[in-house]
Chains A and B, each alone.
Chain A
Amino acid sequence: DAKTTQPPSMDCAEGRAANLPCNHSTISGNEYVYWYRQIHSQGPQYIIHGLKNNETNEMASLIITEDRKSSTLILPHATLRDTAVYYCIVRAGLRGGGADGLTFGKGTHLIIQP
């Protein structure tokens, strides 16, 4: 799996959009970009994933650059409950040979300020 680079921590004001960057310059053509988050002492929660196109769901938006070497997770209206560690992961699906687990780094600790 390609390696990812994320800032260790970020602050964001409540109600504002939180933009979390991720660099994955060695990503392969068959690798997806996944975002998970982990609230303290809980299991990670899936947020969103994408391959080439930008994606949006009820939780967040994922913007992937055209060259796929970086991406940004956007939480449009951050709340205090969004305070968590956010993990950016790149991985091929099963058909692409990615049959094993996800590789979690240290992620970005996002702190939402009231």
Chain B
Amino acid sequence: DGGITQSPKYLFRKEGQNVTLSCEQNLNHDAMYWYRQDPGQGLRLIYYSQIVNDFQKGDIAEGYSVSREKKESFPLTVTSAQKNPTAFYLCASSPPGPSETQYFGPGTRLLVL
């Protein structure tokens, strides 16, 4: 069963702690993306990766870090430097091609206590 998985669905963090959100895909897609969504707002791009061992900052990368050691995996770490981390985090991937449709995972909701 192909698709994008994100875990966990809900994540609680104490203020000042780092936390890592998982994103895995078995679609053999080259490109992967992380977005953040705040209530009532659209999605904003945090980081993206077009190929293994390479990634680029998006519009709101401060306070976040990523790695892309495997094609299937693109974990996002929310660091203590992110001042307002409570949000809905969405991972996406896209196949190569001229239009590059993106396919999204179910999301992880992060709550800072």
Measured CB to CB, the closest approach of chain B to A101, in angstroms, equals 4
For this complex, into which size category does the number of interface residues on chain B fall?
20 to 34
Name the one of A45, A93, A103, A105 contacting B97, with C-beta atoms under 8 angstroms.
A93
Contacting residues, chain B, for A46 (C-beta < 8 A): 101-104
Complex CA gap A99/B102 in Å reads 12
Name B residues whose Cβ lies closer than 8 Å to a Cβ of A.
Answer: 4, 33, 35, 40-45, 48, 50, 56, 58, 88, 90, 92, 96-107, 109
Interface residues in A86-100 by Cβ distance below 8 A to B read 87, 93-96, 98-100
For this complex, into which size category does the number of interface residues on chain A fall?
20 to 34
Name A residues whose Cβ lies closer than 8 Å to a Cβ of B.
Answer: 32, 34, 41-46, 49, 51, 87, 93-96, 98-107
Complex CA gap A23/B105 in Å reads 28
Contacting residues, chain B, for A105 (C-beta < 8 A): 42
Whether A41 contacts B88 by the Cβ 8 Å rule is: yes
Chain A contact surface mostly: loop
Name the one of A32, A42, A45, A101 contacting B33, with C-beta atoms under 8 angstroms.
A101
Name the one of B35, B48, B100 contacting A93, with C-beta atoms under 8 angstroms.
B100
Complex CA gap A20/B92 in Å reads 24
Using A43-B106, A45-B104, A101-B35 as known contacts, say yes or no to A95 and B42 having CB atoms under 8 A apart.
Answer: no
Interface centre among A34, A43, A94, A95 (most CB of B within 10 A): A43
Using A46-B101, A49-B99, A94-B100 as known contacts, say yes or no to A106 and B41 having CB atoms under 8 A apart.
Answer: yes
Whether B98 contacts A49 by the Cβ 8 Å rule is: no
Whether B102 contacts A102 by the Cβ 8 Å rule is: yes
Complex CA gap A102/B56 in Å reads 14
Whether A43 contacts B101 by the Cβ 8 Å rule is: no
Whether B101 contacts A44 by the Cβ 8 Å rule is: no
Measured CB to CB, the closest approach of chain A to B93, in angstroms, equals 11
Complex CA gap A34/B45 in Å reads 17
Using A41-B107, A42-B106, A43-B90 as known contacts, say yes or no to A101 and B100 having CB atoms under 8 A apart.
Answer: no
Whether B58 contacts A104 by the Cβ 8 Å rule is: no
Contacting residues, chain B, for A98 (C-beta < 8 A): 100
Contacting residues, chain B, for A43 (C-beta < 8 A): 4, 90, 92, 104-107
